[in-house]
Amino acid sequence: MSDHDPGNSRPASRWGGGFTSYASPKPAPPPDAARMQSLYQSAVAELVRGRADLARASVEELARALPQVPEVQHLARQAAIIAFDWPAARESLAAARRNPPAQDAIDLVAFHVEMPLAPSGIHAPIDYMEVLALSFESAKLRAPKARRILLTDEKTAVPDSLPVERVMRFPIDPERLMFERMRVQELYLRERDPARASVMMDSDVVVNADPAGVFAETFDIGLTWRPEFADAPFNGGMIYVPEGKGGHAFIVKALACYEAFAADASVARLYPKNLKAWWGDQFALALLVGYRAYAERTSDTLGVDGLRVRLFPCSDYNFTIEAGRNYSREELRSKRFIHFKGNRKAMQSQYLARMRAGEL
């Protein structure tokens, strides 16, 4: 299954003219639009800083005045997940260089389960086997010595033509797809030879460069971050796990966190879908790292319960191409992995055609 972004996740950019179009279902004075806009902007700014405590009063007043406005509902969801308390010891750490592993000691690991409908509810039907074939083809072009692995369920048909070297099958509940993805990633890491490094990626990712260079620093797990989602700053479709057992330990902790907030009624009731089906894995990563620790970090390496977490910008390590934009060859070649999220899949085949032709 492909990557996912929380719905209505860019509220600040969606306000337009503000609140003046809201119509109350009961006779009542209309809310003060200027005050509502001010409260909203204040809440967004605090949530971006990981300060749900400072956003609470603004969110509550907005929810009382505008309970049916989607942006306000989304803001309340963001505040609830950011406020969820997950204890961990956190600190900023200095980067430490190391020699990267050889390419033949790296696994490129995709996850996919065949589903009749996209669980996000917003993505069009997609031939994911074609998408996977393109992803693994890009791996052969850019990282020919790396091992290609597919994590899937016991039912998904995998054609013999798929350029994958190992298919690992697990019992998977399709109703809890994002939780299950993290769970089988933990099982894969538990079994993995600790002398190997791994890139755990969505099925719609193009390997655009030799992945060995990602592992030129000492860390236990690498997450890719983006600035536009206050509640989901880390993209679950790209996780780097160097050699050793530290990455597995981090995923075990993330699963425990995931279980806890998905079972918390004060959080789950605000979401239209089961958090184990969609969105929740990215919240688990952020809660474990710590929203405030991430926002206030002084370096791109954080200590979390004694584990080293390296934060890589999506702009270089998990880049999303946008339709209608012209990119130079040099700009595209500087990206290590390119993520064709959501309905961008048609662009992936065009990109692979250019790779085959030597244009990229």
Per-residue pLDDT of the chain (360 residues; tens, 9 = 90+): 444 554 444 444 334 334 444 445 555 678 899 999 999 999 999 999 999 999 999 999 999 999 999 999 999 999 999 999 999 999 999 999 999 999 999 999 999 999 876 555 555 568 889 999 999 999 999 999 999 999 999 999 999 999 999 999 999 999 999 999 999 999 999 999 999 999 999 999 999 999 999 999 999 999 999 999 999 999 999 999 999 999 999 999 999 999 999 999 999 999 998 999 988 999 999 999 999 999 999 999 999 999 999 999 999 999 999 888 999 999 999 999 999 987 777 899 999 999 999 999
Residues of the chain with CATH 3.90.550.10: 100-356
pLDDT at 125: 62
Q: How many CB atoms lie within 10 A of CB 189?
A: 24
Whole-number Å distance between alpha carbons of 315 and 76: 28
CB 2 within 8 A of CB 128: yes
How far CA 177 is from CA of 54, 152, 257, 359, in Å, comes to 33, 11, 16, 37
pLDDT at 117: 63
**CATH architecture type of domain 100-356:** Alpha-Beta Complex (3.90)
Q: Which of 199, 220, 217 is nearest to 147 (CA)?
A: 199
CB 209 within 8 A of CB 100: no
For 88, the token pair is: 């961990």
Q: Which residue shows structure tokens 């990557």?
A: 3
Give the CA count within 13 Å in the CB-facing half-sphere of 73: 11
CB 257 within 8 A of CB 288: yes
Q: What SS3 state is found at 278?
A: coil
Q: What is the largest CA-CA distance in the chain?
A: 69
Q: Which of 158, 109, 150 is nearest to 129 (CA)?
A: 158
Whole-number Å distance between alpha carbons of 312 and 98: 16
Whole-number Å distance between alpha carbons of 200 and 154: 20
Whole-number Å distance between alpha carbons of 240 and 313: 12
Q: Alpha helix locations (H) across 203-342?
A: 246-262, 265-268, 280-289, 291-295, 314-317, 329-333
CB 343 within 8 A of CB 123: yes
Residue 95 neighbours by CB under 8 Å, 6+ apart: 217, 299, 300, 301, 310
* pTM for this prediction: 0.91
Strand order in the sheet with 205-207: 205-207, 337-339, 319-320
Q: Residue 89, exposed/middle/buried by CB under 10 A (0-12, 13-18, 19+)? A: exposed
